[in-house]
Amino acid sequence: MVNLWNKDVEKKFFNESLAFATPEQLFYVTDDNRYLAYWPKGYPSEKNTLQSRNSLIGSFTEKWTTDLLQEVVKDKGLFAVQGAICEELALTGKSRADVVISKNKNIRQKPEDILTIFEVKMSVVWNWEFRNDGSGINLTCIGDYKTHEGNPGLLRSDSMLKAAGKSINIKVSNFKASKIPIIVMGNTPITNSYYSKVDHLKISGIVQGFWSVNPKPLDNNGENIKKTEKLGFYRFEKFDELRNSIESLLSEDWNFFSSMRSNKELGQIIELANREKTYEKKGEVFLRLINE
DNA sequence: TGCTCAAGCGTAGTCTCTTG
DNA sequence: CAAGAGACTACGCTTGAGCA
């Protein structure tokens, strides 16, 4: 039984990090000397911005996602690889893929071996209070993301834009990228101003999905979106549900294509492609012609 | 070879402006 | 008038190109 994102995972993040980082690097310190993961809504005094937690939560969530995906593909002879490099797909040492599913487990990858690219955009979602009263580390959840000032994960508009931008950068890097689906993995919902946009990104073939692997991001049965109309966004509630979606992603032979053509040109291309015998062949010829 | 430094990655707070 | 989007800022960390 594999669990998706939940409060225990965040607790684990703080517990692991406290082994080598100071509480001051992981928490805000309030006026009355409380150690909190986020400023509570309406905190009255002067606030500062914590920076030292950023890279820690970044690498923790990427590792956590890699392990989760590894569970999905391990019995298929495939591998989840963290920080993959593939120059042909604009995935360089400076701008790696967070996680890829591949036929091999090397950091350096060939486009032909990569089956899916995952961009991880996750944060600490809940607010936490840390205490160390001598008897050891004590972490208490003091509220969901509606109770603190933070705007975690995919709820930030610029995170959405960055994820979309990186996907486009990969898709236009090389025609070999057109066969590889790209998924943005988050642990929060998205704002309603992005509902129709994620569907358009999916339909136009740029991002195959914004997936949240946090089944219950809000306490007290708070309302939160399950999916958008065209499944551009989807919130997973069980590991098996995630496994099924990834399996169907891996089972098809995908193609991304984009172009600006006149109706006349398109008609000519379709006519030529239609002379082929099978649907697969028609598709192949269509794609070859549209890329010429 | 070892050094510096720009450019990339990451998250998060603040602020302004638009929108309803 | 309130809420949210997006721009901007901040800063910690890593990579790799250029250069002495």
Contact A202, A195 (CB under 8 A): no
Å from the A290 CA to the B10 C1': 38
pLDDT at A223 over 80: no
Whole-number mean pLDDT of chain A?
83
Q: Which nucleotide comes closest to A192 if you measure CA to C1'?
A: C4
pTM: 0.86
Residue A157 phi/psi, 5-degree rounding, is: -65, -35
Å from the A70 CA to the C20 C1': 46
- pLDDT for residue A245: 92
Q: Which nucleotide comes closest to A94 if you measure CA to C1'?
A: B8
pLDDT at A2 over 90: no
- Closest residue, CA to C1' of C13: A55
> Distances from the Cα of A162 to the Cαs of A154, A157, A184, A280, in angstroms?
10, 9, 11, 34
pLDDT 10s digits, A46-77? 677 777 777 778 888 888 988 899 999 989 99
CA within 13 Å, CB half, A171: 23
- pLDDT for residue A35: 85
pLDDT 10s digits, A140-189? 888 888 887 777 888 877 788 778 878 887 887 777 888 888 898 888 88
pLDDT 10s digits, A68-119? 999 999 899 999 988 888 888 888 777 788 888 999 888 888 888 999 988 8
**Rounded distance between C-alpha atoms, residue A76 and residue A101, angstroms:** 11
Q: Which nucleotide comes closest to A37 if you measure CA to C1'?
A: B12
Å from the A133 CA to the B15 C1': 39
